[in-house]
Structure 1
């Protein structure tokens, strides 16, 4: 879906909160809109320009609306495996893992990033669901497990092919990190927790710092000639090209990891042992195949097909749904994600889409739409 002023608002009776860098964004000409309970920058100079700049250089995103959690206590890895399908016990110190918070039916309550620290785990969850996530975990984790919400921390994401050289210029030691690794660093005198990860498909970093230092570090990064501030609009188009799902749109409580094509998040040991929420249903679905499956679509023509459009059969009956869609600045054509019948999920399959009584032709394609360029250990230079 495109991020526009009309659809970024989340259902919330409370007025939007402000990010620690709210004034910093406004001073740089950002257009602010409500999203996930916060006023957030949707764009500075334009979504297309910001998107392409990030693909070619480095963009700085303020993602301080995300939930940053510290979880610790006796046997905390064992307890987290009661809620997540990941091999938490096998996660090494300063190593990261993508995982899913599941309900008892195997539906996805949220997707998240988990990192083992020396004395526990650092978890990043989605901004729109963070309070529900915290409530769910506090309800299901033993009292001996401590869960701290880092409400006084900012989170910045530096993304793009030049992100590595930019951050190494400020702190050379970050160059030792590979994709899905993290560590504590000093950034110009500011203590920071830095992970080599992100939501664009490019190499990049997420930087957690005390909120009081947010503007200083953001300015330091944007003073580098390769870096510009980037808004929510380009963040959405970048993650769509990267084939990355957005919770609340491509994922929800009714969707299982197998239907969402996130089977990689089920580690081999956990598949063999089970014991995670919804394991019986998920493992049976993995064995027999899902009814629907999340796929990528290349849409014919120039007009994007948006979230909510129906996937229809030859008789016009709805058999699936588009969950994200927009125009790809990198490919210069419309792309989308959709749930389609499993029999139609093979790349090359032709499907029809109905958007406001207009029929669009599309073809199922492998994701990501644009190749990932993560800084992986052992990858060819």
Structure 2
């Protein structure tokens, strides 16, 4: 498994995770040609073939100890105790008012080792919120971020590309977020299917000191160019996958976020469960994350109005979809306007612009997690 730096005290703050990984990220980016990339062309390649992205805004925390699964079970929305070794899931951390604290991927490495992947800006707050429970349960929190680089290979050809690159067993039918260890370019890596683009994709967790070798080998099987962050955002928006800091933040109630696959309806008590269950049983929230189609690119932050001037919500992110050849946006839409096909106005500098409310995703998901399609 990938090496790490251990926090010697269970309540000691995480070290700055970006030093070693920044160097590795720069080295990996230097493998690509220097001329400007074409995010639209890269996004189309991600729907038709395979593209490689560097996900350097993801943090990693390992929780070690016999009670590690129990700790995460009580702090997140998924049934972590049901995970077997090698399994994984997408979960949410909430506060007691059911407001989102962090979206995270949880992978069970062993009975006493759990790996948590989350937005890097949520690493320190999550560390502090977990620390008291780690002390009570005699668990150790380990910051893996500085020593590990995350790559993501996505597209219909990603299975073939990865099969050509890895040494040892390769299981293309592995479920989303499950994982296995193998070697690539002589480096020990972990591979794990990830559904964020709606296409078959593979998260590849690489030691920072082996990242250049692994990325070079993968790029040999694609187009020898590392895809830009803008194309990742296009692919994930088309698939209806929200991004922390744009579409999601800690002011949002989880039932508003349109993430049904991330919340177990059968597990026992967890932080925020009472409000989640109450909303599920007794009624809808005041707004929900939805899609918007329009003929103009809607600026993030634009307020939405009904056609007669009433409040209708707010745009959170937008892009030009090369697959659909039209602008798309994600927005929190008030419950009075949630019916697909409802016309609204986006109001901002240069507007207003007319838009139509639509369900997510914008393009069919060919690979996903849970029961949500």
1:167 aligned to which of 142, 162, 167: 162
Q: Does 1:205 align with 2:209?
A: no
1:30 Cα deviation (Å)?
5.1
Q: Distance in 2 between matches of 1:266 and 1:282?
A: 9
1:348 alignment partner, SS class: coil
TM-score by length of 2: 0.86
1:342-353 equivalences in 2 (<5 Å): 342-353=335-346
1:75 Cα deviation (Å)?
2.3
1:109 Cα deviation (Å)?
1.0
The answer for the alignment partner of 1:249 in structure 2 is: 246
Residue by residue over 1:201-246, the C-alpha shift from the partner in whole angstroms, topping out at 9 and shown as x without a partner, is 2111111121010000000111114563101111111110010010
**Is the CA contact (8 Å cut-off) linking 2:312 and 2:336 kept in structure 1?**
no
Q: Distance in 2 between matches of 1:200 and 1:127?
A: 20
**Is the CA contact (8 Å cut-off) linking 1:57 and 1:227 kept in structure 2?**
no
1:290 alignment partner, SS class: coil
1:141 alignment partner, SS class: helix
Q: Distance in 1 between matches of 2:117 and 2:23?
A: 17
User: Cα gap change, 1:72/1:178 in structure 2, threshold over 3 Å: closer, same or farther?
Assistant: same
The answer for the alignment partner of 2:6 in structure 1 is: none
Q: Does 1:153 align with 2:148?
A: yes
2:189 aligned to which of 171, 188, 192: 192
Q: Distance in 1 between matches of 2:57 and 2:249?
A: 19
1:317 Cα deviation (Å)?
4.1
Q: Distance in 1 between matches of 2:113 and 2:31?
A: 38
1:35-54 equivalences in 2 (<5 Å): 44-54=36-46
Q: Distance in 2 between matches of 1:225 and 1:253?
A: 37
The answer for the alignment partner of 1:306 in structure 2 is: 299
Residue by residue over 1:118-143, the C-alpha shift from the partner in whole angstroms, topping out at 9 and shown as x without a partner, is 23211111122222222222244335
**Larger mean Cα displacement after TM superposition, 44-53 or 288-297:** 44-53
User: Cα gap change, 1:140/1:252 in structure 2, threshold over 3 Å: closer, same or farther?
Assistant: farther
Q: Distance in 2 between matches of 1:123 and 1:206?
A: 13
**Larger mean Cα displacement after TM superposition, 54-63 or 311-320:** 311-320
TM-score by length of 1: 0.85
Runs (4 or more) in structure 1 with deviation over 4 Å come to none
Instruction: Name the Cα RMSD after superposition.
Output: 2.2
User: Cα gap change, 1:30/1:238 in structure 2, threshold over 3 Å: closer, same or farther?
Assistant: farther
The answer for the alignment partner of 2:230 in structure 1 is: 233
Q: Does 1:359 align with 2:365?
A: no
Query: What runs of 5+ residues in structure 2 fail to find an aligned partner?
Result: 1-15
User: Cα gap change, 1:24/1:376 in structure 2, threshold over 3 Å: closer, same or farther?
Assistant: closer
The answer for the alignment partner of 1:280 in structure 2 is: 274
Query: What runs of 5+ residues in structure 1 fail to find an aligned partner?
Result: 1-13, 32-43
1:339 Cα deviation (Å)?
0.8
**Is the CA contact (8 Å cut-off) linking 2:97 and 2:272 kept in structure 1?**
yes
Residue by residue over 1:289-347, the C-alpha shift from the partner in whole angstroms, topping out at 9 and shown as x without a partner, is 10111111111x2x210210111124434331011111111100011111111132122
1:25 Cα deviation (Å)?
1.2
The answer for the alignment partner of 1:39 in structure 2 is: none
2:236 alignment partner, SS class: helix
Residue by residue over 1:51-99, the C-alpha shift from the partner in whole angstroms, topping out at 9 and shown as x without a partner, is 1122211111111331112112122222212210111111122122111
Q: Distance in 2 between matches of 1:21 and 1:91?
A: 32
2:291 aligned to which of 280, 296, 303: 296
**Is the CA contact (8 Å cut-off) linking 2:32 and 2:224 kept in structure 1?**
no
The answer for the alignment partner of 1:328 in structure 2 is: 321
